């Protein structure tokens, strides 16, 4: 069975990248393999995580390329050069254009730290999501893995997992619990599920 070639796009610490790499090592992800980690931030600790795992790391920044189109073209060139089948956004803080997302239709995954359609869309990222959940007073939050299209957090949902909000939670404690109890579980599982489908397609092709 042909393994799916995966690229992970990152901007920061790379905790979700680590969850993917750990899942690959433990065999949870077996239909695909991470071939490259691409960061739009040269200082991202995720690049160190990639190096520690023996995975190629690349930095491609908007500053280098000046326009969104040129920036995305550089990412596309890197993906095509490595024959990437599946892209995973793991804390990638850059909205991708419709031109890019259409090119990789149903081949880009993202994890969002809420139960979409709650607390999602433009401007909802990182701690802001958890701040909004606490301000609203919800008793349950969670995480969602979805396909990426041109609408922020608007693509088809693949998996969701609920997490209880506890009395006294801060955005930071809630963020950590959502990562540990939801994101780090459903993201690797979704990567494997989509990789298994793409792997079968590769075998047919």
Q: What is the CATH number of the domain that holds 114?
A: 3.40.50.170
Express each pLDDT in 79-112 by its tens digit. Answer: 999 999 999 999 998 889 999 999 999 999 999 9
Split into its structural domains, the chain has a count of: 1
Q: What is the pLDDT of residue 82?
A: 97
Q: Which of 30, 112, 130, 146 is catalytic?
A: 112
Calpha distance 4→130 (Å, rounded): 33
Calpha distance 77→41 (Å, rounded): 18
Calpha distance 86→7 (Å, rounded): 6
Average pLDDT, integer, range 194-202: 90
Express each pLDDT in 5-56 by its tens digit. Answer: 999 999 999 999 999 999 999 999 999 999 999 999 999 999 999 999 999 9
Predicted confidence band of residue 121 (pLDDT cuts 50, 70, 90): confident
Using a cut of 0.85, tell me whether the model's pTM lies above it.
yes
Average pLDDT, integer, range 66-76: 95
Express each pLDDT in 144-170 by its tens digit. Answer: 999 999 888 899 999 999 999 999 999
Domain range for residue 71?
A: 4-204
- Strands of the sheet with 108-112, listed across from one edge: 56-59, 32-39, 4-10, 86-89, 108-112, 140-147, 157-164
30 as an active site residue: the answer is: no
């Amino acid at each position: 069975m042909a393994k799916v070639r995966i690229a992970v796009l990152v901007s920061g610490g790379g905790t979700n990248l680590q969850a993917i790499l750990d899942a690959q090592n433990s065999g949870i992800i077996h239909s695909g393999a991470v071939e490259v980690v691409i960061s739009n931030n040269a200082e991202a600790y995720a690049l160190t995580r990639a190096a520690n795992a023996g995975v190629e790391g690349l930095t491609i920044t908007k500053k280098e390329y000046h326009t969104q189109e040129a920036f995305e073209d550089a990412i596309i060139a890197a993906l095509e050069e490595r024959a990437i089948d599946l892209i995973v956004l793991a804390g990638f803080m850059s909205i991708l254009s419709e031109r890019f997302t259409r090119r990789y239709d149903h081949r880009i995954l993202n994890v969002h730290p809420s139960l979409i359609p709650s607390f999602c869309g433009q401007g909802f990222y990182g701690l802001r999501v958890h701040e909004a959940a606490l301000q609203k007073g919800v008793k349950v939050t969670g995480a969602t893995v979805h396909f990426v299209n041109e609408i922020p957090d608007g693509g088809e949902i693949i998996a969701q997992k609920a997490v209880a909000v506890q009395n006294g939670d801060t955005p930071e404690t809630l963020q950590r619990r959502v990562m540990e109890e939801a994101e780090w579980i459903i993201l690797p599982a979704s990567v494997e599920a989509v990789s298994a489908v793409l792997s079968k397609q590769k075998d047919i092709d």
